[in-house]
Structure formats: structure tokens, C-alpha cells
A and B are shown apart, each in its own frame.
Chain A
């Protein structure tokens, strides 16, 4: 028998370690989550170290999302009317952390105040012990207003404030700096834009171990191939030692996947699309799995069955060989 020589890459770089949540010094979490540290491509245990498994964040919204897919609303039940109860439920289902979207502060969705947002965040912090990622409504001015108030009111919690984009990163980065939080830097599917934004943010003095990057997600059938390749390229650059691409990556899998017709519509679609409830969950799982293999460190998902499956996959992939 000829002994095979398996080609192994000698990478010089590593993904940065980032810890979400804090248990002391103002932090009230009962546990923290650390991602990053990989010195090889996803799950290639024969080649390098993967000290931290990717994690699953469950998405929670601060108002009942009546426009969400019926399959989701049915699976989540009444708890969607109270973000604290919803968050508790998702942690009970095994979510490693909670991604809280402050949707009701959007000017078209109720325009609730920053003070209301602070109260919501505090109620969720009180309800669960896991770390939080907090998303503003996604409108520049309101994001600034809401996220700054939240950051000030939760000093020391190491929340991840989302999202910082090229147009409005300054205010949010400053709020993170002043209160010991992290930020999520989001750029539209482009390696160079991702790098640039990381540079701009770190130039403001935020240390790199407080930054996650969101390279923007496309769902299966709706741009996943672009996301997939940009993430692969970012991860390869990180391993080759490019310091400005080494932030752990976070993907909004649930939001993208559940927006699509395949996940929303049960009737009047081709029979070959298959049974609705299964199709909708499989769409989210398939999107998540593809991105897991492209280098995702945090996957934000929505459906209880997806949480369970993505975690099963991660556990199996972490077993090594």
C-alpha cells in the first residue's frame, strides 16, 4: 500500500476571537459566546484549529410580525407578542444567543421611541442569560437614535449593535466604544467594501475583537451563490493573513430565506415545489448549511426546526475525524 500524502495548506492567518456578552463589569449575562479563532477553512480539522464552533442565533422581533410567513407564525405561537417570552422560548429550543430586531421603532412600523426600545432590550436581557445582538430598524437616522440609547442604557453588556454601514457607522461605533459593546459591520456582497469598512471602523479606535462582519446574505435561489463566494474569498484572505478580513462573519439566514415565495406561499404554487411546511424549513436549512461551509460564524435563523438542525449539523461537523 502506498501511503498517501494529503495536501495540507499552511495558513499564516487566523480568524479573530470575538466574545459576545459579559458576565461581569456591567454585564449581566449568565454565559458568553466566543466565535472565531479558526486557523483553517470551515471544519477541516485535519489541517488546523477550530477552537470555537459556529453558533446559532434565534431572531426575535419587538412586535408581533404579522407579515411573517404563516409557517413561522404557526411554529412560534403566541410568544411572538412578547419579545421577552419569545426570546426565552428560543433559548429553551437551544439558541446560543438572541438576535433582537427593534422593528417597531421604524417610522413606518409604529415609530416607537428610543426609550421604548431601551425598555424592550432590558426586558429581553432580564428574560434570558445568553448574549444579545440588537438590530435597529434599518433606517439611518432612527438606527442612530435607537442604538445609541440602547448602548448607553446597557453599558458593559457587550451587546452586538447592528448594523454599521459605510453611511452611518460613526455614531454607532462611538456608542459601542463608550459603553463596551460590539458592532456588526455590514457591506453589500463585496470583499473590498468589507475590508474598507473594517478599516474605517478600526480607525475610530474600536478594537478588532469587538467587530463582527456581515457580508450580506442571499437565500437559496435568491443570490446565495454571490454571498457564498464572497464569504469564501473573505475567509481565504483572512487565512492568508489579511488582517482586515479576519472578523468572524454573521449571516441573516432567516430574514432572507423567509422572505421568499418558497417559504411564504402554500397554495397556488407548482406541485413539484413539494409540501409547504417542509419546503419552508428546508429552504432555511439549505441556505444556512451552504453559508456554514463558506465560513459563517454566527447564523441568525427563525424556525425552531432550523435551529435544531443547524445545531445538529454544527455538532456533527465539529466532531472532527
Chain B
């Protein structure tokens, strides 16, 4: 939380020497509070004052990087409780847990997690890491499993799950340079864990029991005093109600109270239930403040839904993801290929173009400027009416390029076809199916050039 001008003033020398270019220290402090000048402009500010001012300007939830290299991800640094107040910035990392005891399974899981990717609205969505869980086989076995995962999935961020400092130490000797997240420091082992995290400059998760945030704060403070800056919080809740209460309280403490000991991202475990049980826990974690989410296994059907929800929740509410409005070629269309029109909402564009691609029929896809709205929304808002459609077609110059003069409208705006036909002399207006899934069938069996 930013300091007020008066609070800053108290930290200044109060000599009014004017060297900062302001008539008084108070004037300088006021300007500083509005971010209109820099602290460095006062040559006399003490180191102590500098430190407290720096601390006060640090984000209320620390940004923590997990992993190293290209696939590293950052979590934290959120500024609001509700996404409509601004936006959520750093989407939670989705990681898959695997037990250390069977190297074959560790290897297979690491490979699958690492190569998993799904395309959505033009973005490639991926998993963020793998959590290797110590199964009590001793330090050497744990380190070996970590080594297996590292070589099967180079660069994939790791979470090292063990409360045994010896095991974590051995694993960090193997993988410390990759900045794995160590989970977890507890009341019993925190000194040794903090030392290890500090030695390898790794982020460290601290874990309390059953939502005891006071204990969590004490633990976080101790670990921080021991020299660990990058902390992740695990309040130790495993049920939906406890998790919601703890995560909400943590977010509020950080944002509303600027409570430093708990100003860190949070890690959530969604349990080992059925796919739909994990889905429910994970959906809660995504909407309600998790920074890292640990899934119990590699289940693409679950992962795809969660990555989609995550993408939705972390989209800036002020700007829908949109496309440049223009003529797109899907496949390699010729003068007799079909012409379809749609709006420039990315979701709409990619849903439609994906189906066209799947059909194997090359198509001219004309994307109208509809302020990034879906077909029906744009229609309802008056951004995708007959006039707009006619103008878009005319401006595209397609009239001179195509052998046929046929334009396919989305089925949901079938009602516009008469009007468009009036506006576009010489064009025949066809009505396509309502849902994009039906486009391949339409292109293959209904659409005819002549």
C-alpha cells in the first residue's frame, strides 16, 4: 500500500534545504506520494528511510518466479479481489503431481505434461510443471526421480514435494539451478528448508495446518528472516470450504491490510478425487486466488477445461481478445471458393476458422469490425447489421475477385439476409448453419458455386 505524503514527510530530513527542487520537504513528500518525482532527488534521505519507502512501494503480493528459462512462470502481484475491478494478471500455474516411487511413471508423466498443448483462440495453452512427491524412499530415491523428470522434460518447472530436508537437499543438488518450488517448510523443518532454499535461490512454500493463518504468518516471517524472499503459501486446507475461507482471507490481508508476512502467492491442492471432483476444486482455486494449482494426475479432459476457465478468468475484462478485421484465407481459396462472413471476436473467429479447416474446403473468411463482439452480441449492439456487412464486403474488393457473388451469413443472423441483399446489388445472400460445428457439412454438401 502506498504511503501518504505526510507519512513520507516523517521519513525525510525535514531541513527544507530545497536541493530537490521543491521549496520544502513536505512539498517534495506530497509530490512523491503522487509519483510525480523520485526519491533519489533528495540527496539527504537516510538508508533507513529509503528501505521503508522501498518496502512500502513493493507490491502487496510478491511476484514469484517458479522454474528457470523459457517455461518458467510467474505468479502473484495481483491487485484486486474481483476481476471486474481491474483484471487478474498472473494466471495460476497448473502442475501435475506424480509420486517418486516409480521412475517409469515419473518419466512418462513428465513427458506427457511437458508436451501437452491445446490451441484456443489462437493461443497455445500449456501445463506449467510437474510436482514430484517424495514417497518416503529416502533422499537418493527422491533425487533420482527428480533426475528422471528433468531429463524426460528438460526445462519443465518442478515442484519438489517433501518435508525431509535430506531428500530436498539431494534433489536440489540435482535440480537447484532450475529454480524448482520446494514444498514445504513446516513448523518442524523450516530452518533446514530455508537454508536449502537460500543456498539454491529457490522459491519455498511454507505450510501450516488446517487453515491456521497465524501459524502460517509466523512461519513465513521466520523463513523470510532466514533470507528467503520468494515464498509461496500453503494454508494446509484440503476441503472446498476451508480453502475458500483461507484463500479469501489471505488475499484480503494482503490487499486490504497490506499485511506483509502473508503477501505471497498461494498454492492449492485439488485432492485425488474423480475428474469432476478435481474439476470443482480446481475451478474454485482458479476463480478464488490460487497462484499454483496441483492436480493429482495427467487427465487431458480435465486439464483442457481448467486451462480454458483459467484463460477466461484471466482475460482483461476491459478488452475482449480480438482479431484484426480483414479478409482471411483459410486453406488456399480460389475464385470459386465459398465466402463466409463473421465478426472479429477472437473466439468467434477461431471457432469458425477451426471448423472450416477441419472441413478441408478452402474458404474466404471475411471478418467484419464489430468491436470484438460475438455474432449475436454484435448484432444486438448494432455492430453487425446489414449496412456493416454490405460495407465490409464492398471494401474487401471481393466482387472483382470471385467468380460467384455469394455471401454466407452466420445462421444466427438469418433475419438480415433480405436487407443485406438489398444493400449489396448483384450478390446472392445465403444463410449458413447456426453453429460452427455444422459448417463442414454445409460446405461439403450444401454450398454450391453455381
Which A residues fall within an 8 A CB radius of B?
Answer: 1-7, 41-46, 188, 220-226, 228-229, 232-233, 236, 259, 261-262, 264-265, 268, 270-276, 278-279, 281-283, 285-286, 289-290, 293-294, 305-306, 309-310, 312-313, 316-321
Min CB distance, A106 to chain B, in Å? 14
The CA of A10 and the CA of B274, in the complex, are separated in Å by: 38
The CA of A223 and the CA of B239, in the complex, are separated in Å by: 28
Instruction: Say whether B305 contacts A286, CB under 8 Å.
Output: yes
Min CB distance, B115 to chain A, in Å? 9
Interface check B306, CB cutoff 8 A: yes
Would A4 and B313 be within 8 Å (CB), given that A265-B437, A274-B302, A305-B276 are in contact?
no
Chain A residues closer than 8 Å to B211, beta-carbon distance: 321
Closest 4 CB pairs of A and B: A274-B301, A274-B300, A279-B301, A289-B283
Q: Is the interface of B mostly helix, strand, loop or mixed?
A: helix
Instruction: Say whether B315 contacts A286, CB under 8 Å.
Output: no
Q: Which residue in chain A gives the minimum CB-CB distance to B315?
A: A225
Question: Which of A1, A224, A279, A318 is the one whose CB lies under 8 Å from B215?
Answer: A1
Q: Which residue in chain B gives the minimum CB-CB distance to A316?
A: B240
Interface check B120, CB cutoff 8 A: yes
The CA of A319 and the CA of B243, in the complex, are separated in Å by: 12
Instruction: Say whether A273 contacts B218, CB under 8 Å.
Output: no
Would A7 and B245 be within 8 Å (CB), given that A225-B315, A271-B300, A285-B276 are in contact?
no
Q: Which residue in chain A gives the minimum CB-CB distance to B440?
A: A268
Which residues of chain B from 399 to 450 have any CB-CB distance to chain A below 8 Å in the complex? 435-437
Instruction: Say whether A306 contacts B276, CB under 8 Å.
Output: yes
Interface check B396, CB cutoff 8 A: no
Min CB distance, B319 to chain A, in Å? 12
The CA of A217 and the CA of B112, in the complex, are separated in Å by: 34
The CA of A221 and the CA of B121, in the complex, are separated in Å by: 9
Question: Which of A261, A264, A276, A321 is the one whose CB lies under 8 Å from B245?
Answer: A321
Instruction: Say whether B283 contacts A2, CB under 8 Å.
Output: no
Question: Which of A233, A279, A290 is the one whose CB lies under 8 Å from B304?
Answer: A279
Interface check B200, CB cutoff 8 A: no
Which residues of chain B from 59 to 86 have any CB-CB distance to chain A below 8 Å in the complex? 82-84
Chain B residues closer than 8 Å to A3, beta-carbon distance: 214
In this complex, the interface size class of chain B, counting residues with CB under 8 Å from chain A, is: 35 or more
Would A264 and B437 be within 8 Å (CB), given that A274-B299, A275-B301, A319-B241 are in contact?
yes
Question: Which of B117, B120, B214, B284 is the one whose CB lies under 8 Å from A289?
Answer: B284
Question: Which of A2, A221, A264, A309 is the one whose CB lies under 8 Å from B276?
Answer: A309
Chain A residues closer than 8 Å to B436, beta-carbon distance: 261
Interface check B256, CB cutoff 8 A: yes
Chain B residues closer than 8 Å to A290, beta-carbon distance: 283, 286-287, 309, 313
Instruction: Say whether B119 contacts A320, CB under 8 Å.
Output: no
Q: Which residue in chain A gives the minimum CB-CB distance to B301?
A: A274
Question: Which of B241, B303, B317 is the one whose CB lies under 8 Å from A320?
Answer: B241
Chain A residues closer than 8 Å to B83, beta-carbon distance: 225, 228-229, 232
Interface segment, one of B7-15, B153-161, B166-174, B247-255? B247-255
Chain B residues closer than 8 Å to A306, beta-carbon distance: 276
Would A282 and B275 be within 8 Å (CB), given that A4-B214, A274-B299 are in contact?
yes
Contact with A along B261-280 (1 / 0, CB 8 A): 00000000000001111011
Interface check B363, CB cutoff 8 A: no
Instruction: Say whether A233 contacts B84, CB under 8 Å.
Output: yes
Interface check B347, CB cutoff 8 A: yes
Would A228 and B287 be within 8 Å (CB), given that A44-B245, A45-B241, A286-B279 are in contact?
yes
Min CB distance, A30 to chain B, in Å? 29
Instruction: Say whether B242 contacts A283, CB under 8 Å.
Output: no
Instruction: Say whether B84 contacts A283, CB under 8 Å.
Output: no
Chain A residues closer than 8 Å to B351, beta-carbon distance: 261
Would A282 and B244 be within 8 Å (CB), given that A224-B312, A268-B358 are in contact?
no
Name which of B119, B217, B301, B351 has the most chain A CB atoms within 10 A of its CB. B301
Chain A residues closer than 8 Å to B374, beta-carbon distance: 223
A-B contact pairs, 22 of them (CB 8 A): A2-B218, A3-B214, A7-B256, A45-B241, A221-B347, A223-B347, A225-B315, A265-B437, A270-B118, A272-B116, A272-B118, A272-B304, A274-B301, A278-B302, A279-B301, A282-B279, A285-B276, A286-B283, A290-B283, A290-B313, A309-B279, A318-B241
Question: Which of B118, B241, B259 is the one whose CB lies under 8 Å from A321?
Answer: B241
Interface check B17, CB cutoff 8 A: no
The CA of A1 and the CA of B215, in the complex, are separated in Å by: 8
Chain B residues closer than 8 Å to A312, beta-carbon distance: 277, 280
Instruction: Say whether A224 contacts B244, CB under 8 Å.
Output: no
Instruction: Say whether A316 contacts B302, CB under 8 Å.
Output: no
